[in-house]
Amino acid sequence: MATIVGGIAVSHTPTIGFALDAHKQDDPAWAPIFATFEPVKRWLREQKPDVIVYVYNDHVTSFFFDHYSAFALGIGERYEVADEGGGARALPAIGGDTQLAQHIARSLVADEFDMAFFQDKPLDHGFFSPMSALLDHDAQGWPVRVVPLQVGVLQFPIPSARRCFRLGQALRRAVESYPEDLRVVVMATGGLSHQVHGERAGFNNVPWDHQFMDAIANDPEALAELTHAEYAELGGLEGAEVIMWLIMRGALASSVKKVHSGYYLPSMTGIGTLVLENTAAALPGEAQARHRAHMARQLDGAQTLTGTYPFDVATSVKAYRLNKYLHELIDASHRRAFLEDPESTFEAAGLSEEERDLVRRRDWRGLIHYGVIFFMLEKLGAVVGTSNLHIYAAMRGEALEDFLKTRNTQVLYSVTGDTKEADSWSEADKQD
């Protein structure tokens, strides 16, 4: 079974990455940052985690307000460094643990956390500023895999401190029920006290920072009771992102061993570091097996439905590249390029030969079996002039005429915006 060996809490600021990249580790103004990071680095080297579940918030870099989620779990294979406006930092991408992420996804939703899931999004300084200072890395990569958990704390309403603590408890159930032997660290970032907007910009509260760091280790239940307004009053509005530390704390046992605590206030943000070793022991019995059964309950039996293929997070990861390619058909320039020179668009998208062949042959059933969600098929159909009904019939292995006989009305339609397309639909030239 997977084991949570401990938790880390650390502030994130652009300051950290800037000082590291500018080689200012020994500069008197910056050195205290790296001094408080050193015990955390040492602990990570000693513990040798396989995976870090990393709780952070994006700073309106990869996540914008056109679709803003409370909790978004990364389920992808790798994560690049985000460009936040002045060019991306010269850091390697970091690999994701897709299998653990998929297990966590199923577990959290089974525990009634309505998660969003993401792939192919670069991570900004909320992730990479502490990671680059705490983990040994080189141009070839990093010593661990990650499962990033992005928390939407910038646009109110946001999750309560209590909700974050409960999510951490659910995260513990998810990790501990994972059947593979993994050493897992849960790391949370954000804060400490700071405010970066309005006339209160520059606000800090050093006594509160120390009180909060003590309470996160020893009395997290009390912190879970505080409101967003109370966090804002005590630590600044942006400092209220420290509720993410409660996700890390909820993932640990009620009693923990404090290995390290450090603090430094260089400029705008109180920079704290905290390492808590988990004291939980694996319990005997079938609790983990029962939890895995609980996770599987909602889809249990669906696998016996002939010709039915639930589109789950595992399928989404497997067929992400092809689904993304087909999704981009909503863009007029991509549609034109596809119709004029499909092979060039296949190459540009990096499609495998199997994926290209499925698209070339309009193998509607094969595309579903591969992992393409149906709503990409109807986009492809609209572009190549194939109605939804032709696609349905092909998936059933029937002639269009036979399939239409099973419908109450024998009509053809698609999602195309050009209804004149219907005049060209015919069974003879659309059955692929």
Which tens digits make up the pLDDT trace of 117-141?
Answer: 999 999 999 999 999 999 999 888 9
What is the chain's pLDDT, residue by residue, as a tens digit (432 residues)? 899 999 999 999 888 888 899 999 999 988 999 999 999 999 999 999 999 999 999 999 999 999 999 999 999 999 999 999 989 999 999 999 999 999 999 999 999 999 999 999 999 999 999 999 999 998 889 999 999 999 999 999 999 999 999 999 999 999 999 999 999 999 999 989 999 999 999 999 999 999 999 999 999 999 999 999 999 999 999 988 999 999 999 999 999 999 999 999 988 899 999 999 998 777 777 889 999 999 999 999 998 999 999 999 999 999 999 999 999 999 999 999 999 999 999 999 999 999 999 999 999 999 999 999 999 999 999 999 999 999 999 999 999 999 999 999 988 989 988 777 666 665 444 444
Could you tell me if 196 and 22 are in contact, meaning their C-beta atoms sit under 8 angstroms apart? no
Tell whether the torsion through CA atoms of 63, 64, 66 and 71 is positive or negative. Answer: positive
Residues with catalytic annotation? 125, 194
pLDDT, position 422: 61
- Report d(CA 309, CA 231) in Å as an integer: 46
CA angle, 391 then 397 then 401, to 5°: 70
Question: Could you tell me the domains of the chain?
Answer: 3-278 (3.40.830.10), 319-430 (1.10.700.10)
Q: What tokens does 138 get?
A: 């080189």
Could you tell me if 209 and 242 are in contact, meaning their C-beta atoms sit under 8 angstroms apart? no
Q: Which residues of 59-89 are buried (b: 16+ CB within 10 A; e: fewer)?
A: bebbbeeeeeebbbbbbbbbbbbbebeeeeb
Question: By three-state DSSP, how is residue 52 classified?
Answer: strand
Q: What tokens does 110 get?
A: 């089974």
* Mean pLDDT of the residues in the chain: 93
- Report d(CA 250, CA 14) in Å as an integer: 27
Q: Name the nearest CA neighbour of 187 among 203, 171, 206.
A: 171
pTM of the model: 0.92
